[in-house]
C-alpha cells in the first residue's frame, strides 16, 4: 500500500527543491478508497501547550492505517495524549513511547506564559517541567489490554538502539527535542531500525521551533527526494524503503 501512496503523493506534488505540501484531502481520499468509512477514537483535542491539533491527529491516524503499523515508536510522550490515541486506534500494535527521565525542577507556574509561546528553548524547558509535574495523565483509565501494549521508556532518545531494544519499526512519530542536533540524531536512530515504513515529524513550520523545518529542508530533503508536509498541520513525513 505504501507504493500506491507514493504514486498518489507524487502525482499531487511538483519537482521543486522545496518540501512538497499536500492537501489533507489527498491523504483522506486515498484512505477512504482503501478503508471506506472508518470510525476513530479520539478525546477532545487537548488544550495544553505542546499538544497536537485535530488535523495532526487525522494525519497520524490515516498514515498508521495505510502502513498497517505493528511496531510504533513515539519520541516525546509528554502527557500521553498521542500515546493513548495510538493505542486506541490500533488492534494489536506495540506502542513504544520515549521521554526523558523525570528531573527535580521547579513548577510550571514560574514560567512566563508569553515567553513560552515565543521562545523555542524556553518552550522546551516549560514542556519538560509540565511533564515532570503531571506525568502521563492521558493514559489514566485505559483498559488493561490497551495499557499492556504500551511501553514507556524513560531515556534520552538520542542514546537508544531501537533495532536492538525495540525491534524493527514500521511507524515513528518524532516529537521530542526540537533543536536540529536532537532531531538529526533521533531521525538517524529511527532510520537504522526502519527498513520500510513512515516517519512523521511534528512541529514542521512551527513559529518557534525551527530545528525540524531546517533539518528536513536540508538534510533529509537531500537524502529523500520526497518530503511531504500536510497543509494545515505541523506534520511532515517521508516514506522509507519505498
Q: Which residues of the chain have pLDDT under 50?
A: none
Spell out the domains of the chain, with CATH numbers in brackets. Answer: 2-240 (3.40.50.150)
Task: Please give the helix or strand (H or E) that residue 98 lies within, else none.
Answer: strand 94-99
Question: What phi, psi does 193 have (nearest 5°)?
Answer: -105, 5
Determine the 3-state secondary structure of 114 from DSSP.
helix
The whole-number pLDDT of residue 143 equals 94
54-109 tens-digit pLDDT: 999 999 999 999 999 999 999 999 999 999 999 999 999 999 999 999 876 677 77
Determine the 3-state secondary structure of 169 from DSSP.
coil
The whole-number pLDDT of residue 117 equals 86
The whole-number pLDDT of residue 81 equals 95
- Any residues with CB less than 8 A from the CB of 31 and at least 6 apart, and which? 38, 62, 65, 66
The whole-number pLDDT of residue 104 equals 65
Determine the 3-state secondary structure of 164 from DSSP.
helix
Amino acid at each position: 500500500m505504501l507504493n500506491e501512496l507514493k504514486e498518489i503523493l507524487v502525482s499531487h506534488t511538483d519537482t521543486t527543491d522545496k518540501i512538497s505540501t499536500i492537501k489533507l484531502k489527498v491523504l483522506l481520499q486515498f484512505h477512504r478508497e482503501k478503508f471506506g468509512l472508518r470510525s476513530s477514537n479520539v478525546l477532545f483535542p487537548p488544550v495544553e501547550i505542546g499538544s497536537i491539533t485535530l488535523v495532526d491527529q487525522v494525519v497520524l491516524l490515516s498514515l498508521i492505517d495505510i502502513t498497517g503499523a505493528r511496531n510504533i515508536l513515539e519520541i516525546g510522550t509528554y502527557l500521553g495524549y498521542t500515546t493513548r490515541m495510538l493505542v486506541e486506534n490500533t488492534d494489536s500494535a506495540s506502542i513504544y513511547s520515549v521521554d526523558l527521565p523525570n528531573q527535580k525542577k521547579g513548577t510550571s507556574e514560574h514560567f512566563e506564559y508569553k515567553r513560552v509561546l515565543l521562545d523555542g528553548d524556553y518552550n522546551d524547558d516549560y514542556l519538560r517541567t509540565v511533564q515532570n509535574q503531571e506525568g502521563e495523565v492521558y493514559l489514566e483509565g485505559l483498559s488493561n489490554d490497551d495499557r499492556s501494549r504500551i511501553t514507556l521508556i524513560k531515556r534520552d532518545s538520542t542514546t537508544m538502539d531501537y533495532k536492538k531494544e525495540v525491534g524493527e519499526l514500521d511507524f515513528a512519530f518524532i516529537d521530542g527535542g526540537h533543536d536540529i542536533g536532537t532531531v538529526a540524531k533521533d531521525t538517524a536512530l529511527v532510520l537504522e531500525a526502519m527498513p520500510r515504513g513512515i516517519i512523521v515529524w511534528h512541529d514542521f513550520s512551527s513559529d518557534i521551533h525551527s530545528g525540524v523545518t531546517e533539518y528536513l529542508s536540508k538534510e533529509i530533503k537531500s537524502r529523500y527526494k520526497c518530503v511531504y508536509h500536510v497543509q494545515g498541520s505541523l506534520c511532515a513525513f517521508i516514506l522509507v524503503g519505498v
